[in-house]
Amino acid sequence: MSEWESGKDRAKKEAKELEELIDGYSYRDAKHAEKTDELYRDILTKDMRKCRDLIFPLIEAAYMEQDFKNAGALEDVMQWLDVFLLELGLKLEWNDMAVDSEYETLIKTDLVLMNNTNSLVDILDVFQQKTLHGKAGSVVEKCGKIKKYVGDLLLLFKKRRHALGG
């Protein structure tokens, strides 16, 4: 059994979920890994763009109300989303791939990142609705928590990239 098949077998549940989300999900060789990574990063990129689309009207509204404190906190969140988008745009050199025996960890990390990025969209959707209706409470405090969430996702993504040899 190949290293890929062995790692996939140890993370059956997670691999199955990812295979349902990403057609051809596989890291068995450089060709498959490159395609999988591209499709994977495309999904995360779409989610990050949705997040930006949810934050932008809040920034506009804060500036229109001359609420510079909240506008600044919201812009900080936007900057973290932009940094994540930049990271997602960086491609790897697949001839130097260094995953080998870490496939189980990679599969689990891929699923956690995908699920948590999707959850961020939901979190920001609720945050946007509450903020626009004046029911969000402390926007600055919530923005701090959202920035930490995005930062944690970014760190996990960077660890994933490093595990892939990038």
Residue-wise pLDDT for 89-120, tens only, equals 988 776 556 555 688 889 999 999 999 999 99
Chain segment 156-165, per-residue pLDDT in tens? 999 888 877 7
Closest CA to 117 of 76, 74, 88, 79: 88
User: Domain total for the chain?
Assistant: 1
Any idea how long the chain is?
A: 166
pLDDT on residue 9? 93
CATH number at residue 44: 1.20.120
Question: 121: domain range?
Answer: 3-163
Closest CA to 41 of 95, 134, 114: 114
Question: Which residue type sits at 101?
Answer: S
Q: CA-based angle 89:95:101, to the nearest 5?
A: 95
Dist CA 165 CA 161 (whole Å): 7
pLDDT on residue 10? 92
This prediction's pTM: 0.92
What three-state secondary structure class fits 108? Answer: helix
